[in-house]
Structure 1
């Protein structure tokens, strides 16, 4: 390679320009040629300028680069830019050994550029690293500030919730306080309206307070309280405990007040007998007027009844109220006491008026006469026992309505009905006590019927246990039917006279209790079967329904008065049995392998030979008969595993024998069709005789354990 001649620094751009434009021959120096080429090239674009400047900086000394940059900074036009580039290039050529720089540039240009780029990238990475560190520090500060903000926000939210809770609690307490104040004012007003003041109660019971205006005012106040309490309780379906307590308390005050008034009147009458001048005071007239409202007989019976309830005077007797928790005994004791008291009073009145009926046996029903004494006795008895009606009715209704046991409710209702009949025979059906007992009896029966209707509705909501695969009646049905059994037993023991009302009553009980039970058995079985089908399992709904129906029928069977209901239930059982027989027969056809052959034999056209049908051709028929013969050797031929789950063994025998009878008759028809020449079987006798029972119906009935005559009768 020829080294380029060194150019003098004194060579100006003007000379180079002139030489480049001179047509004179130029030296054949490659560098000069390139320089001339560069000088002749227009470097108007920024990319070329930038490339030359970069190349100059890459292969020039710091001084040269500084000069080129200084010239470039002082140049404003294109010619100036060209002069700057040329100056930088000439300076570079002048400072480097001839040929060494160009060769080195050509050889290491790519590497030097990549090195330069790498150094620039390292600087960028270093700068970006510092920036990244600053950003990390800034991010950590931001995260810390955000965490503090979140914590502050959480604390603020917790504080708000706590404050809100405190405000709500304060508001609730304020409302409760207002409600308590309102209730207190209501209670205060109620007590002032329905209780006696201390001065009034002292005037009624204390012997130190004389009979006078204060006593009569307290008695009037007591009557007013009782009247207001009756008005208050008349709007309630069930008497409140507060009303009952008010009536009992005021009745006690009145009893003590009348006792005090009665003793005072006796004392005043004795004093009047001693004085010559009979002057009746105003207090005495008022006392006698008030005593007219409480005849002595009436007061004696009511006082004795109230004493028997709480504090009996008879030695060894216990208060009836002690058994208030036991509704049956409580009601029975009260009715027995009333019945005994009425009988004693009736005997007293009969002896008083000289009424004697020698024809009446002891304990027999009394028959009212038309004599004047009988009319007096009836009127006095009605007036005497009418005072017992309010406390007796109140306590009986309270005991009945708080009863949730249906059996106990029925016992109480039956007891009330018995005493109602007895009382009406003693004091007459039109007496106030008889009417009161009729009302309480109706109320007791209403409670009982409401209870069993509630049981029936609850039974309809019962679903079978999902994991229980047994086919026996569920426990809910057993409990319901057990209640029915108890009620029927009580009715059978009490119904000495089968009146129309008693018959209608038991029929209503049967309808209310049996209809939901039947509906529950069917609907629960269908729901259970659907659930099992969704799980891919089988469950015998028909056997379950029959077990439930037969269990209900077994409860009704011992009682003659359930015959009408039993007939309807037996018809329903017969329908279910026929469905089970049909299904069991289809299962037997499938298990014995005769189903296809028998179905084809039953449905073929008369003109079509049976042997030409695929299901009854000799080979298929032979296989079916072999399957049938194998099935006959199993226990299933005389005892069905599925039907063994029926609760009644006789029902199992009935269904299985009926299905076997149909199977035997179908086999007989098939054998007859095979032997018929029109069906074109070759060696029909041999085909049938190859497998058990060999076409013999007598042998088949013997295997089934049935007589041929029984099979014919069953058809």
Structure 2
């Protein structure tokens, strides 16, 4: 242990002494250097390449062996470094390493000089090649100069030729411009041979080529005005062009008019036709010549008159193709359908005819609802259309008028007459909105419509006179008679027909005034009949029966007219009359109740006494207890009879009001009479309790019988509430 301690002590001392040695410090620094840096490794590899000798030399092999032996050494700890450093030192101390350390700068400069010499040799080769290239370039320059000389001589030779060619080209261009000007003038101010043949040919055949030729001729005439306004006056060319072209245009217009006339004569097969775009264009051209267009349209008007008349007669007697639809006259037994079918056919024909004419004149039809007012524009096209439509429908007026008039005059029923008259009014208004107010067909429809309404009003007045002559049997009750029910049923049917004829754009005042004459005649006739019958019944059965009869008739009339808004004024009149008569019924019913309750005389005495009390000029009155039915014995009997009446069913269901049709009215009359009865009983009780009337034990008299002098008890018995 002592020896080991001494050895370790000596080793530490040695390492301390080595640390103070500069060579050792440098070695430790070299050995501690890290060679993993890429820059250091690259530098070392460059130096290695510099001193790398060929493998064939002995010196190079020795250096290689030293390097390999150094690489094969293991990395050891710091304690094993000294022996290996001695071996490596031995290696570096060899000749190659020593030479490398000594001559590194010189060897590097020699290496650089060697590389420079290699570059110089390479540049010498390049310089030789550049000399050869320069010789070739010089030779090319010589040849280019020769070529330029030849080109200059060639240019000099061709210049004169080019100048001559340019002059010829300019001359040709001027000639071409003159030729183009002539061609343009001829094409603009002259028709081609083919176009002239189209305008002047006797063959009446119109197509789009003909119309283009016409358009060109019109343009030539318009443009020729320039040739007529020169400083020296009209030119000869302008005069000749206008004269020739105008003659051709006139011949073209004549040809157009003849073609349109021939085409219009073809419109005889169908009642409704469509026009072709070519015909629309032809009519547009003819509008520039109104006299020619008028001649062509007169042919169209005559053709359409005959066509529509024949079509109407076929629809009346023969029907459609194959018998469908069936002939209109097969429904002559049904006046409404017969007249409606004829007017519907005419209306459809009018619509188709207007559509045809609008297409013919190129007028775009407006979109409008059926029956709405057509807005007639103030234009030449609209004038032509209305005139042609009026002429086309001229021959339809007479057969339509004859048949409708015959149907109207043959009607005996006022409902049928009114339906036909309303139908005529509807179509009259619709067609006026289609063909205008001044059209001949509108005048015809106005005439037959007025006649239909006159026939209808005659039937209404005849029915009113017949109703006024109604005589009821003696056993007729207070209900409305059969004649009145039939009359009001006719009135209800008439109002339904009138309501169904609304167009939708009428004001409330127009609706009311439109039916007022009919309503006044029908309702007033019914009221007059009821009043005359009521007077006769009052003579036979009393006033009450006559009043109830009138109330029932008025109530029935009110129930008939009330649902219709245009009859509100008449319903108000009837309601006011019913209310006034109801007040009379209330008074009469109250008097009857007083008689039934035996209080009539008592209430009369009380009323008379109250009147005398209110008059200061009268003498002091006698006490009520001393007057007739108000004496205590008589009053007790009257109150006993009143109490007996309160227990009878007449309090709830009075038989006198049972004949009234309106149960609410009967309830109203009875309730009002019962309230008046309560007021009379209150007056009676008040008078009995007054001291000046000298009743002994007044409360005993009143309290002996129901309602015991109590108004609430009486109201409870009668089933009425106290007035607020």
With normalisation by structure 2, the TM-score equals 0.56
Find runs of 4+ consecutive structure 1 residues off by over 6 angstroms: 291-294
1:526 counterpart (535, 538, 542)? 535
After superposition, what is the alpha-carbon deviation per residue over 1:431-477, rounded to whole angstroms, capped at 9, x for unaligned? 00011111111111111111111111100100112233x21100000
2-structure distance, mates of 1:505, 1:368: 27
State the match for 2:356 in structure 1: 348
2-structure distance, mates of 1:489, 1:518: 21
State the match for 1:575 in structure 2: 580
1-structure distance, mates of 2:596, 2:367: 80
Aligned 1:358-373 pairs, distance under 5 A: 359-360=367-368, 365-373=373-381
Per the alignment, do residues 618 and 580 of structure 1 end up closer, same or farther by CA in structure 2, a change over 3 Å counting? Answer: same
Q: How many angstroms does 1:503 deviate by? A: 2.7
After superposition, what is the alpha-carbon deviation per residue over 1:174-195, rounded to whole angstroms, capped at 9, x for unaligned? xxxxxxxxxxxxxxxxxxxxxx
2-structure distance, mates of 1:360, 1:621: 84
Q: How many angstroms does 1:343 deviate by? A: 1.1
Q: How many angstroms does 1:358 deviate by? A: 5.4
Alignment pair present for 1:476 and 2:502: no
Q: How many angstroms does 1:331 deviate by? A: 0.3
Preserved contact between residue 464 and residue 528 of structure 1 (Cα < 8 Å):
no
Q: How many angstroms does 1:498 deviate by? A: 2.8
2-structure distance, mates of 1:652, 1:666: 21
SS state at 1:584 partner: helix
Aligned 1:576-655 pairs, distance under 5 A: 576-604=581-609, 605-606=612-613, 607-655=621-669
2-structure distance, mates of 1:591, 1:361: 69
Alignment pair present for 1:456 and 2:461: no
Alignment pair present for 1:682 and 2:696: yes
Aligned 1:333-482 pairs, distance under 5 A: 333-357=341-365, 359-360=367-368, 365-468=373-476, 470-482=477-489
SS state at 2:383 partner: helix
Per the alignment, do residues 358 and 319 of structure 1 end up closer, same or farther by CA in structure 2, a change over 3 Å counting? Answer: closer
1-structure distance, mates of 2:370, 2:604: 79
Give the paired residue count. 419
State the match for 1:557 in structure 2: 562
Preserved contact between residue 512 and residue 567 of structure 2 (Cα < 8 Å):
no
Q: How many angstroms does 1:338 deviate by? A: 0.5
1:701 counterpart (715, 718, 722)? 715
State the match for 1:207 in structure 2: none
Q: How many angstroms does 1:293 deviate by? A: 12
Alignment pair present for 1:497 and 2:505: yes
SS state at 2:658 partner: helix
After superposition, what is the alpha-carbon deviation per residue over 1:144-173, rounded to whole angstroms, capped at 9, x for unaligned? xxxxxxxxxxxxxxxxxxxxxxxxxxxxxx
SS state at 2:325 partner: coil
Q: How many angstroms does 1:292 deviate by? A: 8.1
With normalisation by structure 1, the TM-score equals 0.56
Alignment pair present for 1:317 and 2:325: yes
Q: How many angstroms does 1:638 deviate by? A: 2.0
Q: How many angstroms does 1:361 deviate by? A: 6.2
Alignment pair present for 1:295 and 2:302: yes
Alignment pair present for 1:516 and 2:544: no
Q: How many angstroms does 1:370 deviate by? A: 2.4
2-structure distance, mates of 1:559, 1:369: 39
Deviates more, 1:519-528 or 1:334-343: 519-528
State the match for 2:545 in structure 1: 540
Preserved contact between residue 357 and residue 385 of structure 2 (Cα < 8 Å):
yes
1-structure distance, mates of 2:484, 2:369: 48
After superposition, what is the alpha-carbon deviation per residue over 1:200-236, rounded to whole angstroms, capped at 9, x for unaligned? xxxxxxxxxxxxxxxxxxxxxxxxxxxxxxxxxxxxx
Aligned 1:325-336 pairs, distance under 5 A: 325-336=333-344
After superposition, what is the alpha-carbon deviation per residue over 1:530-572, rounded to whole angstroms, capped at 9, x for unaligned? 2457xxxx97111111111100001111111111111111111
Q: How many angstroms does 1:378 deviate by? A: 0.8
2-structure distance, mates of 1:328, 1:402: 12
2-structure distance, mates of 1:427, 1:293: 18
Q: How many angstroms does 1:364 deviate by? A: 5.5
After superposition, what is the alpha-carbon deviation per residue over 1:636-693, rounded to whole angstroms, capped at 9, x for unaligned? 1122111021111101110001111111100100100000001000000101000100
Aligned 1:214-363 pairs, distance under 5 A: 295-315=302-322, 316-357=324-365, 359-360=367-368
2-structure distance, mates of 1:583, 1:505: 40
* CA root-mean-square deviation: 2.3
State the match for 1:161 in structure 2: none
Q: How many angstroms does 1:483 deviate by? A: 0.7
Per the alignment, do residues 516 and 358 of structure 1 end up closer, same or farther by CA in structure 2, a change over 3 Å counting? Answer: closer
2-structure distance, mates of 1:600, 1:368: 82
Q: How many angstroms does 1:294 deviate by? A: 8.3
2-structure distance, mates of 1:579, 1:539: 10
Q: Which runs of 5+ in 1 are unaligned?
A: 1-258, 264-287
2-structure distance, mates of 1:363, 1:563: 27
Preserved contact between residue 393 and residue 441 of structure 2 (Cα < 8 Å):
yes
1-structure distance, mates of 2:335, 2:636: 76
2-structure distance, mates of 1:566, 1:404: 29
